[in-house]
Structure 1
Amino acid sequence: MPMEFNMIRSIRETPQALDSALKILKEWDPPEKGFRRVIFIGCGSSYFSSLAGNHVLLKSSIESHAFPASEFMLHYRELAKGALVVASSRSGKTGEVIEAVKVAREKGATIIGVTCNENSKIEEVSDETIAIPNGEEPNIPATKSFSAITLVLQGIALKLLGREEGLNELMAIQQAVERVLARENEYRSIAESLVSRKAFVHLGSGSGYVVALEGALKFRETLGLPNEVFPALEFRHGPVALLRGPEKPQPIVIAPEGSSTGALKRLIDDLASRNAEPLVFTNSDVFENCVRVPWNGSEELAVIPFIVPIQIVSYYLAVLNNLNPDFPEGLVKVVERF
C-alpha cells in the first residue's frame, strides 16, 4: 500500500473548509457603496477561483472582470477607478496580488482581500479581509483552499446580486462534495486506467472551462507532464491536430449540465470518432460511458463539485507514478517576490 500524502488528506477536509466559508458568508454583508464594476484578481489557482466568482456575475447587469493579478497591474489598472476589487491569495502574501492591490488602491478602488491566513500582508492593504479558517493546507498544490476561496467568491457575487437564496445552493455544494468524497475509490480506479498516459488535454465550457483550467494545473503540478487546456469548442480550431501524434493526449472533458450540453455532446462524439476516447465528467443524462458527478445544482456553481474528482485523480496518478504530490519538484508554495 503506497504511503498516504497530505494532499489527499486536504482533499478529504474540503467539507470542513467549505463549512467555515459558509459561516463567514452568512454573516457577511456587501459594501453599501455603489461601484462602477467588480474586478476579481488572483494568481494560479486563486485566479481560477476569480474566474468562478466572475462567472456568477457575467450574465447580470453588473460589469465584471477577472484577471491574473499581474495582467491587471501591468495592463488594466485604469479599470480600478471606482471599482470593487476582490483580491484572492491562499497565503495572503502573493507578490503580484499585493502589488496589484496597491495599484488598485491608488486608483481609488475598494479592496476586499480573500485568504486562508489571518494577519497576512493582504489584510494590511485591503479595506476588508475575509480569512477562511480550515482553508490552508500543508501541500503545495491547492485543493481545499481552492474550493474554499471559490465558494467565498461565488458567495460575494451572489450577495452583490442580492440573491440571498443563493446561499442555499452554496450549502448544497458542501453536501455534493461529501458525496464526491464517498466515491474516492472510483476516482482512484480512473487514475489507474490513466497511469500509462503521457499527455492530457482538458476541455470545458462556462464553469466547466474553469474546472478544466484548474484541473490541468493540478495535473501539471503533480505529474509534470504536458497538459493543454482549451475552451471545449475551440479545440476543433487547430488544436485537434494534437490527436495526430504518436503520443496523442488523453482528452478530459468537463461537462456540467447547462446551455453547452448539446454542443459538448457533439464534440465528444467527434472525439470518439477519432478514437480519442474522451474521459467525460458530467452530471447530465445525455452522455454515456462517463464519470458521474453528484451535483444537482446550477451550471454557474458547478466548479467545486466538479474539481474535487479531478483533484483526487491527479493525486492518485502522482502516487502511482511514484511522485510526491505534496512537494512537486521545482515548485514553491508562495511566490512573494514580484
Structure 2
Amino acid sequence: MTFLDSMATIPEILETMVGARAARMAGVAGAIRDKGIRRVVIIGSGSSFNSALMAQPLFDQLGIAVQLHYPNQFAVHATTIDRQALHVVISQGGATRSVFDAVQKLHRHGCPVCSLTANTESPIAQAADVPVSMGCGEEHYLYRTVGVCSTVVSCWQLAMTLALENGMITHEDAASLDREMLASAWALPQVREMALAWYERHRFSLMRAQYLMFAGANDLWAVAREADIKVMEMVPLVTRGFELEEIIHGPQNAFDASGAYIVFARRGPDAQKASAIAAFLGERIGFCALVGNVGVGRRDFCFEETGERLSALEYLTFAQVMAYRLSADRGRDLTRKLNAGLADYISKEL
C-alpha cells in the first residue's frame, strides 16, 4: 500500500463514521445526559491537539465551551481542574505516557474521562470511563493521515452530541451537519488529485526551499499547524505553522528567499488579510501560495470548499499531499523511523 493508497481510504472511513454517529457517541451521550455539561476539556499532543483545534470552531458555533491542553502541561503542572466539564483525552496509539498520566490525575480529582483512541483495548482506553474509537483502524504508515481525519470527525461528533443532549440543536440540525461532513469527505479525492497536479507544477521551487512557513486563521490555523508537523516529520524539513495574524508580527523578521510560504485562506473576514500577506511574500520575498478559494495568482492552489463550517479536511488533504511528495522526491522511506535511538534515553509510551 502506498501513502496515496492509504489516503484514498479516508472518504469511506469517514462515511462509515458519519453513518454510525449515534452508536459511536452513545457512551458519551449517556455519560452527560441530564447533567447540563456544556464545557469540554480536550487533552492531546501533536496531531491529536491539532485535530481538536480544527474542531474547536464547531464547538464554539454550537455553544459548547472548549479548552485544549497538552498532556504534559496538564498532567504535571495544571492545578485547576474543571469538575463540571467533560474531559476528553486523545491518543491514536493509546499508550502515550503523558496522556495516561492525565487520565490518572483526572481520576484522582473525581473526574470521569472520555478517550479517543484507534484501539479501544489500548491502555488509555481501558483506563478511561468512556472509551470511544477513532474509527481509523491501524494505519499502515507511521505518519498519521487517516487518524487525523477521523479524529477531527470524532471531535465534531462530540460537539454535536453535547449540543443535542443540551437541547442546543435539533436532530434535524445534526442531520444537516452529517450531510456537510459527507460532502466534504467525498470531495477529498478531487482535492488530492488537484494537489498532486499543483505539486508537479511547483515541485522544484518547493524542493529548493530550506524551510517552510504555514499560516491560517480559525480552523485553518489548525491546518497550518498540522501541515507544519507533517512536513517536519515526513520530509524532514524545518517548518513553522502560525496563526494568520501572528505571522506578520515577530516571524516576519525571518522572511527571506530561502524559504517557501503557504497561506490557507477562504472567503470571509480573514480573506483580505491573507491575500495581502501572500501578495507581499510573493512579490517581495519568494515563493508563496494561497490555498483555498481566494487565490488568483499562478502559484495559488484554488478550489471551492464544500462548505465553510466543516471543510478543514479539504485543506488538510493539500498539506498531506505536499508532505508526501516532498518526502518522496527526497528519497524518504516513510516506513522507517528517524532517530530511533531516542528511545534508549526516554520513551513517550507506556
TM-score above 0.5: yes
What residue number does 1:149 align with? Answer: 151
Q: Which amino acid aligns with 1:12?
A: A
How far did residue 110 of structure 1 move? 2.8
Distance 1:190 1:149, change over 3 A: farther
How far did residue 145 of structure 1 move? 0.8
Distance in 1, Cα, partners of 2:249 & 2:318: 28
Judge conservation of contact 1:255–1:261 (CA < 8 Å) in 2: yes
Distance 1:77 1:117, change over 3 A: farther
For residue 81 of structure 2, the aligned residue among 61, 69, 79 is: 79
After TM superposition, the structure 1 = structure 2 runs for residues 169-318 of structure 1, keeping only pairs within 5 Å, are: 169-183=180-194, 185-189=196-200, 192-193=203-204, 194-244=206-256, 248-284=258-294, 287-289=296-298, 290-298=300-308, 300-318=309-327
1:87 partner SS:
strand
What residue number does 1:13 align with? Answer: 9
How far did residue 167 of structure 1 move? 1.7
What residue number does 2:106 align with? Answer: 104
After TM superposition, the structure 1 = structure 2 runs for residues 2-81 of structure 1, keeping only pairs within 5 Å, are: 6-27=2-23, 28-29=25-26, 30=29, 31-32=32-33, 33-35=35-37, 37-59=39-61, 61-76=63-78, 78-81=80-83
1:324 partner SS:
coil
How far did residue 253 of structure 1 move? 0.8
CA-to-aligned-CA distance 1:24-51 (integer Å, 9 cap, x gap): 3243343312226211111211111121
2:81 partner SS:
helix
Distance in 1, Cα, partners of 2:228 & 2:78: 26
Distance 1:187 1:324, change over 3 A: farther
Q: Which amino acid aligns with 1:24?
A: A
1:274 partner SS:
helix
How far did residue 112 of structure 1 move? 1.6
Q: Which amino acid aligns with 1:23?
A: G
Tell me the matched-pair count. 329
Q: Which amino acid aligns with 1:35?
A: I
1:195 partner SS:
helix
Judge conservation of contact 2:120–2:126 (CA < 8 Å) in 1: no
Distance in 2, Cα, partners of 1:105 & 1:187: 49
TM-score, L = length of structure 2: 0.86
Worse-superposed segment, 39-48 or 323-332 = 323-332
How far did residue 203 of structure 1 move? 0.8
How far did residue 191 of structure 1 move? 6.1
1:38 partner SS:
strand
Distance in 1, Cα, partners of 2:296 & 2:289: 11
Worse-superposed segment, 185-194 or 30-39 = 185-194
What residue number does 1:140 align with? Answer: 142
Judge conservation of contact 2:39–2:66 (CA < 8 Å) in 1: yes
Distance in 2, Cα, partners of 1:135 & 1:52: 21
How far did residue 231 of structure 1 move? 1.0
Distance 1:258 1:158, change over 3 A: farther
CA-to-aligned-CA distance 1:152-185 (integer Å, 9 cap, x gap): 1112112322341322211122112132234353
What residue number does 1:321 align with? Answer: 330
How far did residue 317 of structure 1 move? 0.6
Distance in 2, Cα, partners of 1:273 & 1:182: 28
Distance 1:26 1:257, change over 3 A: farther
Distance in 2, Cα, partners of 1:61 & 1:185: 38
Structure 1 unaligned regions, length at least 5: none
1:58 partner SS:
helix
Judge conservation of contact 1:88–1:113 (CA < 8 Å) in 2: yes
Task: Give the RMSD, CA atoms, in angstroms.
Answer: 2.3
How far did residue 60 of structure 1 move? 5.0
Distance 1:199 1:87, change over 3 A: same
Greater relative CO (CA pairs within 8 A, separation 6+): 1
Structure 2 unaligned regions, length at least 5: none
Q: Which amino acid aligns with 1:204?
A: G
Judge conservation of contact 1:265–1:287 (CA < 8 Å) in 2: no
2:339 partner SS:
coil
Q: Which amino acid aligns with 2:9?
A: E
Distance in 2, Cα, partners of 1:135 & 1:280: 33
Judge conservation of contact 2:115–2:130 (CA < 8 Å) in 1: yes
Judge conservation of contact 2:56–2:219 (CA < 8 Å) in 1: no
